[in-house]
Chains A and B, each alone.
Chain A
Amino acid sequence: MNETRIVPCLPRLRLVIQTAIVSATMLMIAIPAFAGLGENVSSVQADQAHMQGSLRSTQSESYTLHEITAASGAVVREYVSAATGKVFAVAWQGAWPPDMRQVLASYFAQYQQAAQTQSNVRAGRRPLLINQPGLVVESGGHMRSFMGRAYIPDMLPEGVKAEVIR
């Protein structure tokens, strides 16, 4: 793994806030937006700005890991395939869950349907495991400590095992 850059983003965002009346919409985005699962990498830097955090990217042979650390300490990791340029996996960890609609992008509806089918089983807290041919989502934790990951099995680069996604 070869670390390529560390880009602190906070000063730039402070400048924006100090010099302009940022729109109310912008101010309400405390939960970051990401390059969603299955989408192109091009929006990673915009995601970084949304999270008001720092970006660290590390490159390996078959994928690049973009790790965004938010001001809150929450961490989101986006795994981008070198072959396709698309996000094949996302992992998260923080005091609260991320915006899953952003994380899963077009996969959110599938995720929600699978989760609500499962939640009929019983009330109460337990981990969520969705293991479908086209989508794997695993999340767990408790108040002030949530974590999880999502990936598309078919999009895993050759030789990359799911265990590396954390």
Chain B
Amino acid sequence: MNGARDKVRKLIGGNRMTMITIQNGITTAAVCGALLFAGACGGGSSSTQTQPPPPTGANIATLTVNPGPAGNYANGAFTSVTVCTPGTSTCQTIDGVLVDTGSSGLRLLSSVLTVPLSQQNYTNGNPVAECLPFVIGYTWGPVQTADVEIASEKASSVPVQVINQSAYPLPSTSLCANNPGGPADTVQNLGANGIIGVGSFAQDCGGACALPPSSGQNPNLYYECPAAGCTAIAESLTQQVANPVSLFSADNNGVIIELPAVTGPEASLTGSLVFGIGTESNNGLNGATVYPVDDNGNFITTFNNVQSSQSFLDSGSNAFYFTDAAIPVCGDDTAFYCPNSTLNLSATNSGFNGTPTGTVDFSVANADDLPNDAVLGQLAGPNTISGFDWGLPFFYGRNVYTAIQGKSTPGGTGPYWAY
């Protein structure tokens, strides 16, 4: 029997070289070709034969669920992103970038970057760097600007984070210095070549980071970094690492993640990352229910008669994470549930203000019994303190809309999720 931990770790080392496709100075037409190639390459054609052809359009990037460039991801959705030295045609397409609706901003490993980006400098001329904490692990490195292209969407001079642990000494007072997980600074540690946060916000931090570092309200994510060491700064909204979608010249009010349904474990899955909501003929709401999201990026999930107002949809989480004390956790890996037999469960989602409401049915399989596949629609684990975390399995078989805060859409002003 494969343990849950083995299930993931055994994937490491397998088939990793096919995922990194890096090209320099390519034209837009070549980018499309590269995207299609990457999708076909990573998608595993054998498992996609029964799926309907994904929609096409200038605002659609291919989304692939596969083990990713590190070969160790279960339920990770990846796409390709092209970055260019600002104002030039010096470009590079990077695939294996994790698509994350639970964060905002583009973060790329310096180790995969081959084109120079433009360093952002503080008012005194010193380079700016960022510490971005996740629950487990963090990213640290310089803030640089890039022209970003995905599918046929373009944004100029987008502040991105270049993940580089050694670029500047990590300040000992930063949230990164006391994060338990350590740096996500390699393909192996990150499980990806980068993360593209296409979540509910236009910037990663927002107004708090624009306040004085001494105010007690600034989490001090941004630093100016002279040779003597980095010091926390106030970073304006326009300077902060940005959700690239919000800066596209069109189709910039949100995204749709469209993935086919799965009936059991699969090696890979191909879908679409669609830009814009109601801006083109191919991205209308089509009757999807709009669930308003609060200013922290949460709505309400009620499960087993317990209401959690800090619940969220998150393509960057790789399972259903929720609390049910009656379901045994796996003996070998307590991150997952191992029920005796597959459970069919139901929860209710509501907008953050209580309306609308809708029922979601989902299943939880014994994680130890699941094979070493990248697509595991019934993978779940415990989450005892925060809300219901609807990870990527929620997205299988749905078109899930994420509208950006403050942006107008036919379904109202963001932030909201719709499905």
* Contact residues, A27-78 vs B (CB, 8 A): 27-32, 51-53, 70-72
Q: B180, A125: Cβ atoms under 8 Å?
A: no
Q: Min CB distance, B135 to chain A, in Å?
A: 6
* Contact residues, A108-137 vs B (CB, 8 A): 108, 111-112, 114-116, 118-129, 131
Which residue of chain B is the closest to A138 with respect to CB atoms? Answer: B385
Q: A121, B204: Cβ atoms under 8 Å?
A: no
Residues from chain B with Cβ under 8 Å of A111 in the complex: 180
Q: A145, B383: Cβ atoms under 8 Å?
A: no
Contact partner, B216, options A52, A144, A145, A146, Cβ 8 Å: A52
B115-130: contact bitstring with A at CB < 8 Å (1 yes, 0 no)?
0000000000000000
Q: Min CB distance, A125 to chain B, in Å?
A: 5
Which residue of chain A is the closest to B172 with respect to CB atoms? Answer: A101
B interface, over-half SS: loop
- Assuming A124-B98, A127-B389, A145-B310, is B136 touching A118 (CB within 8 A)? yes
Q: B133, A97: Cβ atoms under 8 Å?
A: yes
Q: Min CB distance, A76 to chain B, in Å?
A: 13
How far, in angstroms, from A97 to B133 measured CA to CA in the complex? 8
Residues from chain A with Cβ under 8 Å of B383 in the complex: 127, 129, 140
Q: Min CB distance, B362 to chain A, in Å?
A: 16
Which residue of chain B is the closest to A100 with respect to CB atoms? Answer: B178
Q: A145, B312: Cβ atoms under 8 Å?
A: yes
Q: B173, A126: Cβ atoms under 8 Å?
A: no
Q: B199, A124: Cβ atoms under 8 Å?
A: no
Q: B312, A28: Cβ atoms under 8 Å?
A: no
Residues from chain A with Cβ under 8 Å of B197 in the complex: 143
Q: Min CB distance, B409 to chain A, in Å?
A: 20
Residue with the greatest number of chain B CB neighbours at <10 A, chosen from A17, A29, A53: A29
Q: B296, A131: Cβ atoms under 8 Å?
A: no
Residue with the greatest number of chain B CB neighbours at <10 A, chosen from A95, A96, A140, A147: A140
Tell me whether B42 is interfacial, beta carbon within 8 Å.
Answer: no
Tell me whether B213 is interfacial, beta carbon within 8 Å.
Answer: yes
Q: Which of B45-53, B70-78, B278-286, B338-346 contacts A (4 or more CB under 8 A)?
A: B70-78
Q: A97, B175: Cβ atoms under 8 Å?
A: yes
How far, in angstroms, from A116 to B138 measured CA to CA in the complex? 12
Tally chain A residues at the interface, Cβ within 8 Å: 55
Which residue of chain A is the closest to B132 with respect to CB atoms? Answer: A143
Residues from chain A with Cβ under 8 Å of B213 in the complex: 27-28, 30
- Assuming A100-B178, A143-B103, A144-B297, is B216 touching A122 (CB within 8 A)? no
Residue with the greatest number of chain B CB neighbours at <10 A, chosen from A99, A138, A142, A149: A142
B49-79: contact bitstring with A at CB < 8 Å (1 yes, 0 no)?
0000000000000000000001011101000
A1-44: contact bitstring with B at CB < 8 Å (1 yes, 0 no)?
00000000000010001000010000111111000000000000
- Assuming A30-B220, A128-B136, A141-B310, is B103 touching A123 (CB within 8 A)? no
- Assuming A30-B220, A112-B180, is B175 touching A96 (CB within 8 A)? yes
Q: B386, A127: Cβ atoms under 8 Å?
A: yes
- Assuming A27-B214, A119-B181, is B389 touching A126 (CB within 8 A)? yes
How far, in angstroms, from A102 to B133 measured CA to CA in the complex? 16
Which residue of chain A is the closest to B199 with respect to CB atoms? Answer: A143
Tell me whether B182 is interfacial, beta carbon within 8 Å.
Answer: yes
Tell me whether B301 is interfacial, beta carbon within 8 Å.
Answer: no
How far, in angstroms, from A100 to B135 measured CA to CA in the complex? 11
Tell me whether B371 is interfacial, beta carbon within 8 Å.
Answer: no
Contact partner, B72, options A100, A123, A125, Cβ 8 Å: A123
- Assuming A30-B220, A96-B219, A146-B135, is B181 touching A115 (CB within 8 A)? yes
Which residue of chain A is the closest to B188 with respect to CB atoms? Answer: A123
Which residue of chain B is the closest to A52 with respect to CB atoms? Answer: B216
Residues from chain A with Cβ under 8 Å of B201 in the complex: 143-144
Q: A141, B386: Cβ atoms under 8 Å?
A: yes
Which residue of chain A is the closest to B218 with respect to CB atoms? Answer: A30
- Assuming A97-B133, A140-B321, A142-B103, is B296 touching A127 (CB within 8 A)? no
* New A-B contacts (7) at CB < 8 Å, excluding given A126-B136, A144-B206: A28-B213, A28-B231, A101-B177, A123-B184, A139-B385, A141-B310, A142-B317
List 18 contacting pairs A-B, 8 Å CB cutoff, sorted by A.
A30-B215, A30-B219, A32-B216, A119-B136, A119-B137, A123-B184, A125-B314, A127-B321, A127-B386, A131-B334, A140-B385, A140-B386, A140-B387, A144-B201, A145-B310, A146-B135, A147-B385, A149-B385
Which residues in B have some Cβ–Cβ distance to A below 8 Å? 5, 8-9, 70, 72-74, 76, 98, 100, 102-104, 132-137, 173, 175, 177-182, 184, 188-192, 197, 199, 201, 204-206, 208, 213-221, 231-232, 296-298, 310, 312, 314, 316-319, 321, 333-335, 381-387, 389, 391
Closest 5 CB pairs of A and B: A123-B191, A140-B386, A115-B180, A52-B216, A27-B214
